[in-house]
Amino acid sequence: MLLGAIEAGGTKFVCAVGHENGTIVERTVIPTDLPEVTMREVIGFFQKHQPDAIGIGTFGPADVNPKSPTFGMITSTPKQGWRDYPLLSELEKVFPVPMGFDTDVNAAALGEAKLGAAKGLDSCLYITVGTGIGAGALVGGKLLQGLSHPEMGHIMVRRHPNDSYEGKCPYHKDCLEGLAAGPAIEERWGMKGDKLQEAEEVWELEGYYLAQAIAHYILVLSPKKIILGGGVMKQEQLYPIIARNVQEILNGYVSLPEIMDRIDEYLVSPGLGDNAGITGSLMLAYEAYTEQNR
């Protein structure tokens, strides 16, 4: 059985074919242009390989509710041409195979739970800190969805008293994403994050905000493992800063050894590295395939 996977992002689409054990046979990266342009290439890639199922992990907001008439649509994105674009049904028109469709971060959480840092666990949280901030969660073995998908990057955090940066979120200004995603770092400090490696105050502040959000996620979801990925998390010094702040915020209230004694094994980088999303999309394909053939 050959599985197909798409990690659909605002700057690029990663497409791959591979197997249920996570091996990738071939992959390609297609820039996110207008949908007609990008999708022609995406479709061409899968016509060449003819996978038996396709899994899609997409940027959002997207309609991930299988009962909804617009299931599989990218909804209110500002990305030109992609608003209300029926991503799933455009693929279904060409490929009559089972398809899985979820957010990129839910796909990454699934990949990490099947084959990465949360392997074997029925619960984990995958957070990406990149151009935006988002998180996907596996809860009781199922990817978390509700009315739609969660939007954990847009929660409010308490401002640091010395931080006067107004925030970059077009909807909320100083929500978590507005204060702590890559573009906010760049605008606040006048330089991209990768050039600020030595600036300790940058990462102390970044960790201060991310830890607040993570403490909230722990309080609400109680995940068994938290995986932090995305471009900003390439700054490895962030992990211990976040860990210390999470412990301070929770202040012994969640008195589990995972948090009190072994937090460095609890808050971790992706076991699948930059392949968490695409591997998770392969797993979405596998789930869709087994569901249909049960």
Q: Which chain residues interact with Zn ion by CB under 5 A?
A: 154, 169, 171-172, 175, 177
Q: Name residues whose C-beta falls within 8 Å of residue 292's C-beta, 6 or more positions apart in sequence.
A: 53, 98
CB nearer to ligand ADP: give 192 or 262. 192
- Interface pick for ligand ADP out of 125, 155, 232, 283 (rule CB under 6 A): 232
- Interface pick for ligand ADP out of 61, 81, 86, 231 (rule CB under 6 A): 231
CB nearer to ligand ADP: give 86 or 231. 231
Give me 72's structure tokens.
């599989």
CB of 130 to ligand ADP, least distance (A): 2
Query: How far is it, in rounded angstroms, from Cα 216 to Cα 54?
Result: 34
User: Per rule CB under 6 A, is residue 194 in the interface with ligand ADP?
Assistant: yes
From residue 208, alpha-carbon distances to 15, 82, 134, 273 in Å are 35, 34, 17, 24
State the amino acid at position 266 in one-letter form.
Y
Beta strands (DSSP E) in 178-225 are none
Question: Is the bond preceding 61 in cis, omega lying within 30 degrees of 0?
Answer: yes
- Interface pick for ligand ADP out of 40, 173, 192, 262 (rule CB under 6 A): 192
Query: How far is it, in rounded angstroms, from Cα 119 to Cα 99?
Result: 23
CB of 133 to ligand ADP, least distance (A): 9
User: Per rule CB under 6 A, is residue 230 in the interface with ligand ADP?
Assistant: yes
CB of 170 to ligand ADP, least distance (A): 16
Beta strands (DSSP E) in 152-239 are 226-229
User: Per rule CB under 6 A, is residue 40 in the interface with ligand ADP?
Assistant: no
User: Per rule CB under 6 A, is residue 131 in the interface with ligand ADP?
Assistant: yes
Beta strands (DSSP E) in 118-241 are 124-129, 133-139, 142-143, 226-229
The residues that touch ligand ADP, with contacts defined as CB under 6 A, are 9, 11, 130-131, 182-183, 186, 192-194, 230-232, 234-235
